[in-house]
Homo-oligomer: A and B are copies of this chain.
């Protein structure tokens, strides 16, 4: 099996995936069930060994359209426009690859992205990838921001505004750090400035287990609080530095940190939650907002690859 590409180039300071599971070594074969990939029937180093950037997002359609977009941006577009789904044996997730960029969908919520990340981290490890950067490009509700603003996450915080992720292991709660790469966040902010196409800010992101009650919405099937209580909660969040709310960043940050992978969260705000709860903007406007994290992250990838070449 080929070595990771950086290893071939003789680089000294390559950053490897850290595998925190001694049991894996004793597995004859590793089945990445929800990705419909495994080590017995797939040559993972050959297929994925050159991956340097992984972009993840909730929707499979969006991750496919991101692949088409970044392929054009990097001058790697397939003339036939064909990007096969590398997880075609399952409908749990979708995965696309173009050059050094892997694009994977993760569904909605912490458990869904967590299953994907377990298997993705093992995939990158089996493929002997090095110097990988993972970026989540998603959507969110904003607080005190113009809809369409892109938020680069400084710290991912829980519903009490603390930067931690609680993982249950054998029935006991373990608290993990949700630190993200500060340098990467700053580089992404710089990319936003260079583009100048839309507002980009750095702020804390609140990660919740629920879209309705968990985010103080008034329009779910259940609501036991008043509009005033909702507004007070969102104001407290704002005071704690929270600029947007989504449902995956905490476990994403925790898992990438434990695995020694540079990670960033880049989400566009689809509405200002202090002004409403329903996503009532036109389909076209919401669609154009959703492209912004893609544009920002593509700019960063292009810039990084160009710097590496020169």
Q: Which chain A residues have a beta carbon within 8 Å of chain B's beta carbons? A: 19-24, 27, 29-31, 33-34, 58-61, 89, 91-92, 107-112, 114-115, 117-119, 121-122, 125, 159-161, 167-171, 208-214, 216, 218-225, 227, 229-230, 233, 236, 247, 255, 258-259, 278-280, 283
Known contacts A170-B229, A171-B233: does B118 contact A108 (CB below 8 Å)?
Answer: no
User: Which of B118, B160, B224 meets A169, CB within 8 Å?
Assistant: B224
Which residues of the partner chain B approach A92 to less than 8 Å between Cβ atoms? 58-59, 108
Contacting pair B211 A118 (CB below 8 A): yes
Contacting pair A110 B108 (CB below 8 A): no
Contacting pair B107 A221 (CB below 8 A): no
Contacting pair B91 A219 (CB below 8 A): no
Q: Which single residue of chain B is at the shortest CB-CB distance from A173? A: B159
Which residues of the partner chain B approach A89 to less than 8 Å between Cβ atoms? 283
* Most B CB within 10 A of own CB, among A22, A167, A210: A210
A310 to chain B, nearest CB (A): 35
Contacting pair B111 A115 (CB below 8 A): no
- Work out how many copies of this chain go into the complex: 2
Which residues of the partner chain B approach A223 to less than 8 Å between Cβ atoms? 20-24
* Most B CB within 10 A of own CB, among A34, A212, A258: A212
CA distance A259 to B220 in the complex (A): 12
Which residues of the partner chain B approach A91 to less than 8 Å between Cβ atoms? 59-61
* Most B CB within 10 A of own CB, among A60, A115, A259: A115
Q: Which single residue of chain B is at the shortest CB-CB distance from A166? A: B209
* Most B CB within 10 A of own CB, among A20, A161, A209, A222: A222
A54 to chain B, nearest CB (A): 14
